[in-house]
Amino acid sequence: MTTVSNLLLFIGLAMIAIAAGLNTYSGYAPADPNSTPLFSPLWWTRWFPLYASGAALLLVGLVLRVSGRER
């Protein structure tokens, strides 16, 4: 069970780090005025699913880790 919780924690942290990096990059990426912007100015509409799923994986990993130590 420790391996599963470690894997879920790692994947959750990676997802949050990738979403944060893309969110930061979107603030500096110039958009072509003649095209649809690649990144929405409303960051939460695009990045919320990544943040939420990463946070959910972190929560599940932490619960598994804590419940595994109590046994």
Q: Where are the domains of the chain?
A: 2-23+43-70
Separation between Cα atoms, residue 50 and residue 55, nearest integer Å? 8
| Angle of CA points 39, 43, 46, to nearest 5° | 70
8-state DSSP, 1: -
Residue 62 contacts residue 9 (beta carbons within 8 Å) = yes
Instruction: Supply 37's token pair.
Output: 């912007």
Residue with tokens 């500096």: 28
pLDDT, tens digit, 9 for 90 and up, residues 1-60: 678 888 989 999 998 888 888 777 766 656 556 655 555 666 667 778 888 888 999 999
pTM (2 decimals)?
0.69
pLDDT for the residue numbered 23 = 74
Return the structure tokens found at 63. Answer: 């619960």
